[in-house]
Amino acid sequence: MHPTDPHEDEALENFDAPLSKTRRKQQMHELQLLGAALVDLSKERLTQLTLPETLLTAVREAQRITAHEGRRRQMQYIGKLMRDVDPEPIRERLAAWSGQSRAEIVRQHAMERWRTRLVEDDTALTEFLQLYPNLDAQVLRNHIRNARREQAAGKPPRAYRELFRIVRDAFAQNAST
C-alpha cells in the first residue's frame, strides 16, 4: 500500500491488534473480581441474575467453602468461567444494586422527594394517589400521620421508613407495568 492510499486508513481501522499479555491479565483479574462480587451476593440476588448453570453452581460452591486455599482455587475457577460470559449485564445489575448507576440514583432521589413531600404537604397525597391509584389511601394516610408524629416527638423514624418502602414499592410496581 502506498502511504497516500485511502484504503490504508480503512485497513488500519479494521485491524484488530492482539491484546498484550499485560492487558489480558488485567482483564482476567477484572473477571475474577466480578466473580468475587457474585460470591458476595445473597441467594435471592443470585437468582435474579441470568447466569449459566455452571457459573451459578461454582458461585454457590464458593459461598460454601471456608478453607482459604480451597476458596482461592474456586475463585480462580469462577474467573475462568467468567471468560465465557458477557460481563456487562452483570456489572450493570451490580451497579444498580449498589446504587451506583445514574438511573438508580435519580430514581432513589425521586422516591426520597416524594416521601418528604407526602409528610410536609397535604396536597402531595392526592397527587401521589393519582399517579399510583392501586395504593391503599388509608394505609398511606396512617403512615404519613405517624411519620409526622414521630418527627414532632423526636422519635425514631419507623413510620418514615415504612412510608419510604411504600413509595419504593409503588415505583417498582409502576416500572414493572
Tens of pLDDT along 54-112? 999 999 999 999 999 999 999 999 989 988 988 888 888 888 777 666 777 788 899 99
Residues 89 and 109 in one domain: no
Cell numbers standing for residue 167: 413509595
- Look at residue 158 and give its three-state secondary structure: helix
Q: Identify whether 6 is part of a domain.
A: no
Q: Find the domain containing 152 and state its range.
A: 102-176
Are residue 28 and residue 62 in the same domain, yes or no? yes
Give the pLDDT confidence of 104-155 residue by residue, as tens digits: 778 889 999 999 999 999 899 999 999 999 999 999 999 999 999 999 999 8
**pLDDT tens per residue, range 23-65:** 888 888 888 888 889 999 888 888 888 889 999 999 999 999 9
**pLDDT score, position 17:** 65
Looking at the domain assignment, is residue 3 inside a domain? no
How many other C-beta atoms are found inside a 10 Å radius of the C-beta of residue 93? 16
Would you say the pTM of this structure is higher than 0.75?
A: no
> CA-to-CA distance for 43 and 39, rounded, in angstroms?
9
> Does residue 108 sit in the same domain as residue 55?
no
Residues whose CB is less than 8 angstroms from the CB of residue 166 and which lie 6 or more positions away in sequence, other chains included: 135, 139, 140, 143
- pLDDT bin (cut points 50, 70, 90) of residue 10 is low
Residue 87 belongs to a domain with what CATH number? 1.10.60.30
- In 3D space, the residue among 34, 15, 138, 144 whose CA is nearest the CA of residue 90 turns out to be 34
Q: Are residues 35 and 92 in the same domain?
A: yes
Grid cell listed for 145: 400521620
Q: Which residue has the cell 438508580?
A: 104
With respect to residue 48, please indicate whether it lies within any of the assigned structural domains. yes
As for how many domains the chain has, the answer is 2
Can you tell me which residue has the cell 414532632? 152
- Domain closes at, from 58, 76, 97: 97
